[in-house]
Amino acid sequence: MFRENNGSRIHSCNDVDPAPKRYLNPADIYIVKGYGIEVFLENLNSPAGIVFDEEGSLYIADSGLSTGNPQVLKLVNGELELIAEDFVTPISGINYLNGVLYVSHRGFVTRIFRDGRRQNIIMGLPSNGDHYNGPVAFSPDYKIYFGQGTVTNSGVVGNDNEWVPVSPLLCDYTGDYVILTGENFTTDNILTEAVTDDPAYTGAFSPYGIPNIEFEIRKRYTKASGSILRANLDGSNLEQVAWGFRNPTFLKFNNSGQLYAVNNGFNPVGSRPIENATDDFYYITPGLWYGWPDYSGGEPVNSPRFTPTGGYQPTLLLKNQPNIPPRPYVTFPPNSTLMSFDFNYNQKFGEYGDVYVAEYGSTIKTAVGDGLSYAGAGHRISKIDLRARTISTFAINMSGFPASLSKGGGLERPSHLIFGPNESMYIVDMGLNIEGDPNIFVPGTGVIWRIFRTNDE
């Protein structure tokens, strides 16, 4: 359903009655005084991102995480029109420049032209593991920049990696020449289910079941795990900007040409679990290593605070550090899962230059009865004051919890945030998850919210 400026409703082709239909109520959302929030578009299938063209037309990237069919859609007179499909699940984002859409999907960046032609400009990215490549950003000199996530949580393939039986040779690749400590990690071998006593010994930056020896060297890869990459608009001259991130999901240039990125930290899972790792907002300096897999937010993971509950204190995997990792510009609590951000340059909306961030919430899979930290992180929109380097909550459910947990009608999975027409902010909410799995969504539960200024100061 699309709402016009006069509040009237236009029913779109997406206005079906999925089961269950998501309950929506903007009144369940707390928002800073002087602002209002409303449902702009609903009944979407796991939308990952949106973009407006110069005429104000809206394009939606359907990730495919609810239907298995990723698509790019356009809102035309209140109806959703199919622009393109046949992408690799999931689509992670979309952007637009000079009449061309740039679609990021697992392992690819694809251009779509006005006449319907499409062109894969970047392929073969190492996106078949736990994380994948993010949406592209455009630099002032008209290059594309994007983040590439890591294959594993912390540099070691383990039994938390469900893709091992299908891709047993998959592992992380370093962005520089590094020397390994030779530490190995032991698991029950998931590749020999019939054998009850068959341990697998796996080293860092090695396929499952392949151990390290001390002083092993790993070579530099341009398409490194946990890197920021750039290329010309046609995909040529691909090069590495920086590496040492776990999952740099989103990046963008400010109006001064400075590059910023969000990075999501370690989880306490797998063969090398790391607790209390922050999610971070960085100012990017080209050519540097940002610390993964041995640092979190500029602090070494062998510090006591990173020891998982009931587990062992993590040790470092690299003997040589390419450089001292930079500290984040600001840090967010664990399980925030920062998905995107935008700079505000409209003084009628708010303070000039402030950054607004979409927090997705925890991505740790759970079973019935498992505890999971929802309070204090994620499922909200936050604001960064770049001058003071402080974070405040801008919009959050009244309950403090995601809508599915509180049975309310507010925010669930904010995945993208962008300023657009009508001096408004638009929030993409991917929808309701299948119980226990943060990577699969109930069809028809995705939403786009609109935030606007009111006269209530």
- Cα separation, 304 vs 409, whole angstroms: 40
Can you give the residue ranges of every domain in the chain?
Answer: 26-148+222-453
Name the residue type at position 226.
G
Statement: residue 163 has pLDDT above 90: yes
Q: What percent of the chain has pLDDT over 90?
A: 86
Token code pair at residue 312 = 């062992």
Whether pTM > 0.85 for this model: the answer is yes
Q: What is the phi/psi pair of residue 27, to 5°?
A: -65, -15
pLDDT above 50 (res 1): no
Residue 373 pLDDT level (bands cut at 50, 70, 90): low
- Mean pLDDT within 393-404: 94
End-to-end Cα, the chain, rounded Å: 30
CA 363 to chain centre: 10
Tell me what pLDDT residue 456 has: 65
Q: Which amino acid is at 147?
A: G
User: With bands split at pLDDT 50, 70 and 90, how would you rate the model's confidence at 372?
Assistant: low
Instruction: Return the amino acid letter for 2.
Output: F
**9 or 215, higher pLDDT:** 215
**What residues pair up with 95 in beta bridges, in sequence order?**
102
Q: Which letter, b or e, does each residue of 301-316 get, where b requires 16 or more Cβ atoms within 10 Å of its Cβ?
A: beeeebbbeeeeebeb
CATH architecture of the domain with range 26-148+222-453: 6 Propeller (2.120)
* pLDDT in the model for residue 197: 85
Across residues 258-278, what is the average pLDDT? Answer: 96
**Tokens 């993208």 -> residue:** 416
Give the pLDDT band of residue 370 (cuts 50, 70, 90).
Answer: very low
pLDDT at 121: 98
pLDDT per position as a tens digit, 412-427: 999 999 999 999 999 9
375: which residues sit within 8 A by CB, 6+ positions away?
A: 400, 401
Q: Is the pLDDT of residue 16 over 50?
A: no
Whether the per-residue pLDDT at 457 is higher than 80: the answer is: no
- Which residues in 136-198 belong to E strands, given as ranges? 137-138, 143-148, 178-179, 184-188
Q: What is the pLDDT of residue 104?
A: 98
* DSSP annotation of 175: S
pLDDT tens readout for residues 170-208: 999 999 999 999 999 999 999 998 787 899 999 999 999
